[in-house]
Amino acid sequence: MKSCTTDKMILPGGDFTEYSEVKKLEAELAGKLGTLNQRGNEATNLVHLYGTQSKTIVDYLEQHQTGEPEQDLVLAKAWFAVQHEMAITPLDFINRRSGLLYFNHPKMIRNLQAVIAYFASEFNWSNEEKTKQTQIAEQALAEVIRFE
């Protein structure tokens, strides 16, 4: 039997060699995010979720400002999920990629329509498909917040 080698595999964004590099990237991104009206802890969240790939999200965010900081960051993460993580539906993003569905559903609710609009634009959806995807996301949310 071959010995295990998964401990030697570098996951995307996981190319840190020591924890001080993580803290350095957090500080760098906190500075950039501060100029974009983002909360300081967003840098820590990004780095812990995306590793060095968080720089790609922040670079995109810098170029796509609408004046709605929370929504802008959510949409930058949605863009990343589509471009780099094969997300093809809003539910892919809010559940499997960002965790918003289970871990921050108030933020998900505030930004759901913008996320759906982004996916609709990206994938050229009809109004019927937008409605269908909205219903799917809302049903998933109802299942999470309803305790029966």
Domain range summary for the chain, segments of one domain joined by +: 14-63, 66-148
Q: Which residue has the tokens 């997300």?
A: 87
The pTM is what? 0.88
Q: How confident is the model at residue 14 (pLDDT cuts 50, 70, 90)?
A: low
Question: Residue for token digits 């400002």?
Answer: 65
User: Rounded CA gap, 81 and 78, in Å?
Assistant: 5
Q: What is the pLDDT of residues 119-131, one digit of tens each?
A: 999 999 999 999 9
Candidates 3.30.420.40, 3.40.47.10, 1.10.8.870, 1.10.2020.10; correct CATH number of 66-148?
Answer: 1.10.8.870
Helices (H), the chain: 19-35, 41-50, 54-63, 69-84, 90-91, 100-103, 105-123, 127-145
Distance of alpha carbon 93 from alpha carbon 146, whole angstroms: 21
How far apart are the C-alpha atoms of 56 and 59, rounded to whole Å?
A: 5
Report pLDDT digits (tens) over 79-106.
999 999 999 999 999 999 999 999 998 9
What are the tokens at 68?
Answer: 């709605």
